[in-house]
Amino acid sequence: MLDRVTPEQIETYRTQGFVVIEDFLSPQELAQWRDTADQAVQRRLRAISDGMASGTVKKTLGDRFRAPAKAMLGQKTVETARSVLRKILGSKRIPIGFNGTLNSNQGNPESYYAKVYTQVIHLAKEDPRLGELIFNERLGKIASALSGASGMRLYHDQALFKQAYGNPTAWHLDNPYWAFHSDRAMTMWVALDDATLTNGCICYIPGSHKQASHTKNLSIGDNFAGLLKMYPDWMKIDPVSCPCRAGSVVFHNGMTAHGAGVNITNKPRRAYAVAFMPDGSTFNGIKDVLPDEYFKSLKVGDLLNNEKVHPLLWRDSGNQTPNKTATATPEPVAV
């Protein structure tokens, strides 16, 4: 794993809102990340399936009513009603179809969002081999250098496996979904397979992070270009696709508009995303993927510094959290 970035990479990141770093992982680290992510995703999906079958895991309210509504009213009527409700209620903070109890979008595998990619969150705390890659001082130091933050915490980690012949990933911003707002928030997107134009490599609108607002965003749904209607000037900017080899990463600002096309190959395109939160960030009132008990304990303005939920990766002083090493896996927290 690389342990530093160049001045040119920092300049590109801050100007464009993203930067590609090829061959960021060693071949051994790539194999470890790919294998452990595969196994962790399969364990979680089995647990979801078993829980649904036994009734110990409940579907979301929307999922429970969707099938009967379709049977009675038909697909077109249901979609029309959903569209009207979204216009009334405004854009959602969480992508439609995401189930916070499951920390996955696979509670209803037939939903539109479930077919964008297989999304499974908070895996690093379940698998020490994955944790040693993610709870890593080098990642925190690089994220801080690119963003200009004085330190970085882990916000969350997630597998994003884009299945063959699924749906595209609509244009969206990351940070407006999250439980804190910061212009230095960022995501590291790790290519576990070669990411190509045909299997859904990530794509950006360069410079969009300088104009984006935390109050103007859309969920990842079937309106692929909906975000561009909120920011019509972005339609004049040529998007930049970022094909890259497996083991490469793309760092992007949490306010940079990005999306991905359909995977038109017959194999999944596996990626992993690590979301970083600048040290000192405060709670904005949005639950997002925070554990229930932790969320209930917070009020707007509270520091998000719980080491079990958001472990410190690096500070410019070089000091880690007392009695914790950079690669120590935090204890699980109740969800």
Q: In the structure, what pLDDT confidence band is assigned to residue 317 with cuts at 50, 70 and 90? A: confident
Compute the distance between CA of residue 180 and CA of residue 67 in angstroms, rounded to an integer: 35
The percent of residues above 90 in pLDDT, for the chain, comes to 75
Taking the whole predicted model, whether its pTM rises above 0.75 is answered as: yes
Token pair for residue 91?
């854009």
Q: How many CA atoms lie within 13 A of 79 on its CB side?
A: 8
Per-residue pLDDT band for 333 (boundaries 50, 70, 90) equals very low
Q: Give yes or no for residue 38 having a pLDDT over 90.
A: yes
The confidence score (pLDDT) of residue 51 equals 77
Q: How far is C-alpha 146 from the chain's CA centre?
A: 18
Parse the chain into domains and list their residue ranges. Answer: 7-315
| 153 Cβ contact partners less than 8 Å away, ≥ 6 residues apart | 140, 276, 277, 278, 279, 281, 304, 305, 310, 311, 312, 313
Q: Express each pLDDT in 127-165 by its tens digit.
A: 999 999 999 999 999 999 999 999 999 999 999 999 999
How close are the terminal C-alpha atoms of the chain, in Å? 31
Query: Is there a contact between 37 and 272 (Cβ–Cβ < 8 Å)?
Result: yes
Tokens 């089995």, residue located: 46
Residue 223 pLDDT greater than 50, yes or no: yes
Query: Given this structure, which CATH class describes domain 7-315?
Result: mainly beta
pLDDT in tens, 64-116: 445 555 556 665 565 556 555 555 544 444 454 556 567 898 888 889 999 99
